[in-house]
Structure 1
Amino acid sequence: MTSQTITAATAGTWQLGDLTVNRIGFGAMRLPQQGAALRADAVPSDRERSIAVLRRAVELGVNHIDTAAFYFSPLRSANELINRALAPYADDLVITTKVGPTRAPTGEWGTHARTPAELRGQVEENLRQLGRDHLDVVNLRIVGSDSIAERFGALAELREAGLIRHLGLSNVGVGHLAEALAIAPVVCVQNPYGIGAPAAQEEMLRLCGERGIAFVPFYAIAGAGREGGASGTDSEEVLAVARAHGVSAAQVRLAWTLSRGPHVLAIPGTGNPDHLLDNVAAGGLRLTEDELARLAAPHAS
């Protein structure tokens, strides 16, 4: 596949409610800084380069961008970069954001928003930063196993008020999904997932597929590296498949993730134009049944 034919549409599409998105999207977490993401001492990224990456992503057919108001470094905010690069927004561009975590302007993490007023404040901050009058999708991101009914109910009220179009969940368990569905429709679940994922995440992937809910893995490439990015210590199984196709290990990990179901979306993030091209190209990589089985084995992670 040449760079002229690489497009995010190659991986197919899925519906987030009434919004159609290509299954290869873009995660904005890494845009505001160099190196590891979400650190108080992060080095700001090159602003023009980050803006160029966003515009190139859209040129390549990406129409699903994942962001959050707490994605920032000194001098840089992911939402501000998106606003600067892409506004006025194309009609088919879907921007998904998340609320819950709080960060001080200095970058230190605080407690999660829990009250309706706190969550509304975070929704309004995303609206302001993105320059929107409504948010396409808002995910409630949580930590822990306690009830989310009050928090999700508060977001459902903002949906009814027209500030939010669709609702999703992030970093949740099966019980949370059931709790949320009793309150309002859920269009997506964002959870950590990739090669070697634990059984609990496989179960969530299956449940989402049965209910027509998008399953949107994060850290599909980074794995245990999380905010720090891929560790570069891929298994021999991943490396062997990569060699067989003449692609990178990261592309194999993305292709495997997308193979897990038509409802699985990918949101790989990068501030590197070359990595962006590779990530989008992974949507066209087709692995054999034997390769998929080898990569699903416990020792392949």
Structure 2
Amino acid sequence: MEMRRLGLNGPSVSAIGLGCMGMSEFYGHSDRTTALATIAAAIEAGVTMFDTADFYGMGHNETLLAEGLRGKRDRAFIQVKFGAQRGPDGAFLGIDARPGAVKTALAYSLRRLGSDHVDLYQTCLDPAVPVEDTIGAIGDLVRQGYVRHVGITNVDAATLRRAHAAHPITALQFEYGLMSRDIESEVLPTCRELGIGVTAYGVLGRGLLTGSSGSGVGDYRSIVFPRFREANRAHNGGLADALQRVAQSNRITVAQAAIGWVASQGDDIVPLVGARTPERLTEALAAPLHLQPETLFAIEEAVPQAAVRGSREMSAHS
């Protein structure tokens, strides 16, 4: 497994990380035994980066990951997102990133993870709380030894600068892939100026590029993501077909082409793959991490950003 440094002065992690969200909810049924086998296969293959959040399955994902990593915690770099609030029915209620809430959330995460520390603790932006206050609270936890590195998710360049001034940010988590490239205009250059690494989710367009309909029992993609609405999905499916042809000509799969494209954008970027079976994980880990310029060009021609229909953001409307 190739390794990459997370940020200018950050830790060395596997060049591809395992995103665990889908093992608990949102993308339909996931088998617990298969999920645990996937985590085990990731460790065996040399994956060190594992991405979770306290609100994935409302704690379920952390306990699942803890079970999968039992006896192997020292071989894993666990990054945890916090802040999203949910009701008993699973509905999202907003963000709470007040300093007291930060420390309480971490206490519960540590218990669920069965660990005395989190490697990277990532805040969601709370519009009611200055980002400096939230980052300062995580900085306190770093000094106390409960957190190793500070992270942040889905913020603009100005907010990222404010956060980094409050405490050095090791990594930003942001949606980045062929279908979602808005990070490139301001946020990614700011990360590189400040020496902040990037962990990229949504690399496969949440499954659009690999033919997922985003529907079925327990799968919310076709409900909450405009790109999965029927008309948009049909159009975007044409882009996936074009990518399929490019992938075939390069003797790789569509998933490998999409992962390889992101990985090739810089050694400061770690793609997160949401594999839920050992087979899909094996496919993802075989993605080329340094595609040739002509291949990158052909991939971008197949899936031009301007041709993608529907917002990447969650929405109740088309």
Q: CA deviation at 1:287?
A: 2.7
2:157 is the counterpart of 1:174: yes
Matched-pair identity in %: 26
Q: Secondary structure at the match of 2:54?
A: coil
Q: Hey, what's the Cα distance between the residues in 1 that align with 2:17 and 2:183?
A: 24
- Alignment deviations for residues 7-55 of structure 1 (CA, whole Å, 9 cap, x no partner): xx14x4224655210111100101124xx44xxxx65x32211111110
Q: Is the 8 A contact 1:196 1:296 kept in 2?
A: no
Whether the aligned pair in 1 keeps the contact of 2:122 and 2:152 (CA below 8 Å) is yes
Gaps of 5+ in 2: 209-213, 215-219, 223-227, 309-318
RMSD of equivalent CA atoms:
2.6
Q: What letter is aligned with 2:297? A: A
Give the alignment of 1:230-241 within 5 angstroms: 233=237, 235=239, 236-241=241-246
Of 266, 269, 273 in structure 2, the residue corresponding to residue 268 of structure 1 is: 273
The answer as to whether partners of 1:238 and 1:295 remain within 8 angstroms in 2 is yes
Deviation at 1:207, TM superposition (A): 2.2
Deviation at residue 261 of structure 1 after TM alignment: 0.5
Q: How does 1:137-286 map to 2 (within 5 A)?
A: 137-142=120-125, 147-223=130-206, 228=221, 233=237, 235=239, 236-282=241-287, 284=288, 286=290
Once the two structures are superposed, the pairs formed by residues 92-103 of structure 1 within 5 Å of their partners are: 92-103=75-86
Deviation for aligned residue 1:201: 3.8
Which of 279, 294, 297 matches 2:298?
Answer: 294
Residues 24 and 106 (structure 1 numbering): CA distance in 2 closer, same or farther, change over 3 Å? same
**How many residues are treated as equivalent by the alignment?**
282
Unaligned runs of 5+ in 1: 1-8
Look up the match of 2:39: 54
Higher deviation after alignment, 84-93 or 125-134: 84-93
Residue by residue over 1:156-191, the C-alpha shift from the partner in whole angstroms, topping out at 9 and shown as x without a partner, is: 222222211110110111011100111111110011
With 235-244 and 223-232 compared, the bigger mean Cα shift is at: 223-232
Change (3 A) 1:221 1:101: same
Tell me whether 1:32 sits opposite 2:24 in the alignment: yes
Deviation string 1:102-138 (CA, Å, 9 cap, x unpaired) is 2234422122113211111111111011011111110
Alpha-carbon distance, 1:228 to partner? 3.1
Q: 1:80 corresponds to which residue?
A: 63
TM norm structure 2: 0.80
The answer to which structure has the higher helix fraction is 2
